[in-house]
């Protein structure tokens, strides 16, 4: 018996569990396609028949509930798409499927002494999830964010169309750089299948210079001095109540240097000279190398400390206002800031009291508005427990960046099937009231 090509053939190739979603026999379902082709068939059929809303996910570590839409009927996991596609080590690029874990990627790169410098704590985080989250870590000051390393990608639109952007070489200027728009898109624009990154050599050794300070007012001149330092730090973090050995909960300026032993000796000595006369209460140096166990590295402990509290607010502002904002919050607030990048991560064990947030953030809006730059400061919740809905980001949906994101969403996902309402949250709109 012959069958017409198209609908029946596509549906015939689906597994029974996928057919249940298409036929509306389940309300919430997890889809784990074995292959990219199976995923394509499911998306095509879903778009044509059920039009179920979809939350693309990997290991569910890079995106908390606030970036997994509660409207989605299907959780689409890409963890089985974990193959190495291409690794020309001499070209210092690598192409992998989006479901490959961070641990698997690092194991491949370690063999060649190379790295994707992102400072990821969870080894089970998927590459696609890191891209969708727009991941950045403490070393973004020296290395940049994942956006600076993504050369190209392939992915599905909601109707199952596989498309590509960018390429597999570093020098590629053909067409619009759509790959950059995938970084931080939170699974709202496309479902990633492959990613290509440029790489960096691994450092052989590195040193942390940890200085402690009595007050934020005392620490601020040190940040200003580092702007004109003769050294080249790859990370400059400010920490309050970080519980970081060996400084504990002291107000700390943490500076990370990488290089050869000769260069590190010179840079550490230079930092000592530049900061010692500014009045730190303590100056410590912690030296590590590739032989240092991963769990014992100061970076691992720093990232682990950052993850201990369930509520986290990320504030982006000009670096000159970072200390002024940090001073507005009580000493009980855990603060981790990228000192020279203008990013503050504020975290709490319990939802912060409205007056506690208002003290800092309201004054920040006022100062930005008075300066004639109303979009100079933005913030959004980057961690929030699963049992409640977070406030929207402080980002005007009338801003050009928000308008462009919403326009692109309309082009790539006109039915709004991928992570519905999540882009609205990021563009400053609240969740729909019926959720």
Burial of 295 (0-12, 13-18, 19+ CB in 10 A): exposed
Percent of the chain scoring above 70 in pLDDT: 79
Model pLDDT, residue 195: 97
What average pLDDT does this structure show over 214-221? Answer: 95
Cα–Cα nearest to 137, from 10, 297, 29, 27: 297
Of 333, 389, 322, nearest to 356 by C-alpha is: 333
Q: Tens of pLDDT along 151-188? A: 999 999 999 999 998 877 766 655 667 888 888 888 99
Q: How far is CA 375 from the centre of its chain?
A: 21
- Determine the distance from the C-alpha atom of residue 274 to the mean position of all C-alpha atoms in its chain, rounded to a whole number: 32
DSSP assignment string, 232-298: --SEEEEEES--BTTTBTSEEEEEEEEE-HHHHHHHHHHHHHHHHTT--SEEEEEEEETTS-GGGSH
Contact 359, 401 (CB under 8 A): no
pLDDT for the residue 258? 97
For residue 28, the model assigns a pLDDT of 64
> What is the per-residue pLDDT for 376?
62
* pLDDT tens-digit series, residues 35-72: 999 999 999 999 998 899 998 988 766 545 556 677 77
Largest CA distance in the chain: 88
29-31 and 74-77 beta bridge pairing: parallel
Question: In terms of pLDDT, which residue wins out, 277 or 367?
Answer: 277
Cβ-based neighbour number of residue 372 at 10 Å: 7
Query: Kind and range of the H or E element at 193?
Result: strand 191-198
Distance between CA atoms of residues 194 and 297, nearest Å = 31
* DSSP code for 104: H
- CB–CB of 31/52 below 8 Å? no
* Rounded Cα distance, 129 and 60, in Å: 8
Q: What is the pLDDT of residues 76-128, one digit of tens each?
A: 999 999 999 999 999 999 999 999 999 999 999 999 999 999 999 989 999 99
Local confidence band at 274 (pLDDT 50, 70, 90 cut-offs): very high
pLDDT the model gives residue 19:
58
What is the pLDDT of the chain when averaged over all its residues?
84
The DSSP-derived string for 153-184 is EEEE-TTS-EEEEE-SSSS--SS--THHHHTT
For residue 2, the tally of other CB atoms under 10 A from its CB is 4
Rounded distance between C-alpha atoms, residue 70 and residue 187, angstroms: 13
The tokens for 372 are 């004639």
* Cis amide prior to 246 (ω within 30 degrees): yes
* Cβ 92 vs Cβ 64: under 8 Å: no
For residue 244, what are the contacts with CB-CB under 8 A and spacing of at least 6? 252, 254, 298, 301, 302, 305
What mean pLDDT comes out for the span 6-16?
46
* pLDDT at residue number 136: 86
Question: What is the model's pLDDT at position 282?
Answer: 93
Q: For helices 261-276 and 216-226, give the axis angle rounded to 10 degrees.
A: 130
Residues in the chain: 435
pLDDT tens string 295-325: 999 999 999 887 778 888 888 888 888 898 8
Q: What percent of the chain is modeled with pLDDT above 90?
A: 53
Q: Which two tokens stand for residue 161?
A: 């169309």
Does 61 or 4 have the greater pLDDT score?
Answer: 61
């Amino acid at each position: 018996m012959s069958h017409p090509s198209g609908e029946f053939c596509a549906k015939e190739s689906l597994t029974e569990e996928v057919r249940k979603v298409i036929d509306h026999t389940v309300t919430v379902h997890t889809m784990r396609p074995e292959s990219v082709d199976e995923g394509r068939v499911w998306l095509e059929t879903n778009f044509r028949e059920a039009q179920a809303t979809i939350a693309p996910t990997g290991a569910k570590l890079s995106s908390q509930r606030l970036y997994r839409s509660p409207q989605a009927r299907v959780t689409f996991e890409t963890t089985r798409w974990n193959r190495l596609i291409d690794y020309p080590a001499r070209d210092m690029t690598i192409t992998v499927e989006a479901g490959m874990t961070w641990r698997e990627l690092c194991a491949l790169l370690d063999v060649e002494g190379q790295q994707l410098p992102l400072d990821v704590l969870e080894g089970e985080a998927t590459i696609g999830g890191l891209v969708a989250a727009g991941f950045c870590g403490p070393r973004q000051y020296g290395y940049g964010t994942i956006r600076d390393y993504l050369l190209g990608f392939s992915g599905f639109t909601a109707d199952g169309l596989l498309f590509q952007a960018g390429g597999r070489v570093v020098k590629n200027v053909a067409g619009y750089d759509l790959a950059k728009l995938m970084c931080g898109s939170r699974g709202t624009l496309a479902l990633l299948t492959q990613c290509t990154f440029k790489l960096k050599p691994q450092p052989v050794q590195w040193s942390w210079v940890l200085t402690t300070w009595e007050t934020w007012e005392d620490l601020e001149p040190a940040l200003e001095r580092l702007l004109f330092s003769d050294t080249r730090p790859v990370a400059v973090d400010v920490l309050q109540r970080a519980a970081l050995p060996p400084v504990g909960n002291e107000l700390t300026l943490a500076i990370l240097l990488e290089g050869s032993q000769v260069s590190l000796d010179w840079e550490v000595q230079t930092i000592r000279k530049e900061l010692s006369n500014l009045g730190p209460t303590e100056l410590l140096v912690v030296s590590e190398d590739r032989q240092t166990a991963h769990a014992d590295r100061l970076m691992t402990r720093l990232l682990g400390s950052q993850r201990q509290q369930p509520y986290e607010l990320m504030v982006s502002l000009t670096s000159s206002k970072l200390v002024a904002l940090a001073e507005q919050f009580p000493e009980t607030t855990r603060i981790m800031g990228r000192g020279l990048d203008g990013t503050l991560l504020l975290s709490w064990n319990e939802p912060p009291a409205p007056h506690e947030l208002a003290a800092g953030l309201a004054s920040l809006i006022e100062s930005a508005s008075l300066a004639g730059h109303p979009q100079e400061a933005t913030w959004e919740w980057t961690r929030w427990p699963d049992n409640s809905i977070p406030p929207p980001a402080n980002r005007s949906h009338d801003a050009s960046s928000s308008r462009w994101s919403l326009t692109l969403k309309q082009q790539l996902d006109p039915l709004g099937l991928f992570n519905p309402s999540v882009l609205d949250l990021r563009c400053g709109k609240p969740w729909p009231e019926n959720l």
